[in-house]
Amino acid sequence: MNHSAVETASVLPALVIFVPTATAVLIFAFGRFVSWLREALAFVGVTCALILSVIIGYKTLHGEILTSFETQLYADSLSALLINMVSLVSFVAVVYSLKYMWHQVKEGGLPHTTTSGRLTAFYGWLMLFISTMIWACLSNNIIMLYVAVEASTIASGLLVAFYWDKRALEAGYKYLMLLTVGITFSLFGCVLLYATGSNLPGVGGAKGLLISELKLHASSFPITTIILASAFLIIGFGTKAGVAPFHPWLPDAHAEAPTPVSALLSGVMIKVAMYALVRTVTIFYPTFSPVAMFALGLGVFTLVIGDLMALAQDDLKRMLAYSSVSQIGYILMGFGIGTQLGIYAGLFHMVNHAIAKALLFLAAGAVIYSTGVRNISQLGGLAKKMPITSFCFFIGALAVSGMPPLNGFHSKLALFVAGADAGNWWAVGFGIAASLVTLVVLLKAAKNIFWGKESEAVANTSVREAPLTVVISMLILAILCLGVGLYPKAVYPPIKEAASYVQTINTSNKKVAVAENPKVGKPNDRSSKKILKIEF
């Protein structure tokens, strides 16, 4: 752990979970009776969650670790980074939904007879989904981490099946079934860690449930237990994160869910699962570095598979979903490199992809909203009628592809530098090649949709720019992509601080990396010097 940080008992971690949960309860209770109430409640709830997350982020950045319920909820810089990411994308998704979902529920939805009933269900489950993701990022209890991650699956299950047509129902069934089976493996892993940890000298009893305690004693775990637990955790949380070959649920769910939910699924939910994976598995990096090598291999496999599958898609949302598989591969690659710079780059790409992919999904939703068409081949020449959406889509596409001067460029560059620095040239080679494929896939789609001759679907309908709330939410994310791209120093401190809470391997001597104070890094840790080079 970071020894310079001070643990402080605080109500904030509990409050940031409680607020969206209470909002959900109020929406379910009163949403049907007052037409504007559910939207107002959702907006207020998610805004409060965002403000609380920012406060937690500020405090953790200034040397505090906030804890609630003894240390069951634990907000260090890593958790704070994640909850800020979740709250920000959730805020944008809720703003986007305000007008968008009114339009969508006219075409159907959960088997409620009224528009009001459908919207109440939508906002209620949405707020529960947000609160469970925040809970997962703050849980220090390893079993409750599993419970929170699974709760986020449950809360989003009906959102995936929201349109209640054949495609949505099929996606919802696969989503709930595959993720529950997958995540059950992670329960085995969590229980194994607890069972072994609680029997170690100095841990014992309920302390064995705390990740912060297990991390301190990870070097005492038998290697066989480490291998078994890591395998279960990678299968379990990896399934939820969309890591190949456990990803088949992802394109279905992300494509068939309502667009604001797609933005949350691709933007943040898979990152929350990746966070759970990182929180648990990396505690063994100093003791048993082959775990990192396995993660690296899996990451590279995932980024290649995701990109190749994205190439073959004509459905716009499905193509973006496969692109998310690819980008989660990059993030896993960063964590698999395992050095301080690798972890830093993985976290940086996690944040950048959350912003850029949410933007792409929201822009895709705006296109579908205005044209009613989601096949790329049936679209064309939209830029004249939807200039802001066109601009936002191109920004998102270039950011995800890692083009300068956008945010994705910096994190991908950091990933490749980290890979090269650790001697993993083969991974860097695959990463660069896959990045080029991503660029081709996304720019080709953008060109077909927005440039050229107007297609029949675009010309024949009264297509125009999406409503104001939709445009505003897209612009917020587009500005963030540009802002972080042009001035990346602004986000270095929280990401660097968050990275200091993840254990690393040491590539310079292939031995145990320091677990005492990873924030500072050892004098011979080349990767820590690399961060300084990038920063200054």
Partner 1 sequence: MTHISPELIHTLSLLMILTSFAAVEARNLRHSTVAYLAQALLICGLLFAYSTQNSALLYWAVTALITKAVLVPWFLWNATAGHEQETKPLIGFGPSAVILIALLAIMYKLTHMHAGLFVAQTQELAEIANTNLAVAFTVFVLGLYAILTRRDAIKTVIGLCLLENGVHLSLVSLAPTIRETALAGIATEVVVTVYLLLYIIGGIRSKFGTTDTFKLSELHW
Query: Where do contacts with partner 1 occur on this chain (CB under 8 A)?
Result: 111, 141, 143-144, 146-147, 150-151, 153-154, 157-158, 161, 164-167, 169-174, 176-177, 180-181, 184, 187-188, 191-192, 194-196, 198-199, 205-206, 209, 222, 224-225, 228, 251-252, 255-256, 309, 312
- Nearest distance in Å: CB 220, partner 1: 13
Q: Which is nearer to partner 1, 39 or 150 (CB)?
A: 150
- Nearest distance in Å: CB 482, partner 1: 34
Q: Which is nearer to partner 1, 309 or 474 (CB)?
A: 309
Q: Which is nearer to partner 1, 130 or 505 (CB)?
A: 130
Q: Which is nearer to partner 1, 314 or 456 (CB)?
A: 314
- Nearest distance in Å: CB 289, partner 1: 21
- Nearest distance in Å: CB 352, partner 1: 28
**Nearest one of 238, 278, 254, 41 to 137, comparing CA atoms:** 278
User: What sign for the dihedral angle of Cα 161, 167, 169, 170?
Assistant: negative
**Nearest one of 520, 505, 514, 500 to 77, comparing CA atoms:** 500
Q: Which is nearer to partner 1, 78 or 190 (CB)?
A: 190
Contact between residue 402 and residue 413 where contact means Cβ atoms under 8 Å apart: yes
Q: Which is nearer to partner 1, 92 or 121 (CB)?
A: 121
- Nearest distance in Å: CB 32, partner 1: 19
- Cis before 404? omega within 30: no
CA distance 516 to 498: 15
75: three-class secondary structure by DSSP: strand
In order of 86, 295, 392, 395, 483, the CA distances from 486 in angstroms are 23, 31, 16, 13, 5
Q: Which is nearer to partner 1, 203 or 345 (CB)?
A: 203
- Nearest distance in Å: CB 191, partner 1: 5
Q: Which is nearer to partner 1, 202 or 222 (CB)?
A: 222
Tokens read off for 181: 């089976």
What is the helix (H) or strand (E) element at residue 443, kind and residue range? Answer: helix 425-450
- Nearest distance in Å: CB 384, partner 1: 33
Q: Which is nearer to partner 1, 40 or 177 (CB)?
A: 177
- Nearest distance in Å: CB 306, partner 1: 13
513: three-class secondary structure by DSSP: coil
User: What sign for the dihedral angle of Cα 304, 309, 314, 315?
Assistant: negative
Contact between residue 174 and residue 253 where contact means Cβ atoms under 8 Å apart: yes
Q: In the 3-class helix/strand/coil scheme, how is 301-322 assigned residue by residue?
A: HHHHHHHHHHHCCCEHHHHHHH
End-to-end alpha carbon distance in the chain: 26
Token look-up 């929170």 returns 148
CA distance 98 to 155: 20
- Nearest distance in Å: CB 18, partner 1: 16
Q: Which is nearer to partner 1, 322 or 430 (CB)?
A: 322
Tokens read off for 108: 């159907």
Residue 490 is classified by DSSP as G
CA distance 492 to 531: 9
- Nearest distance in Å: CB 433, partner 1: 22
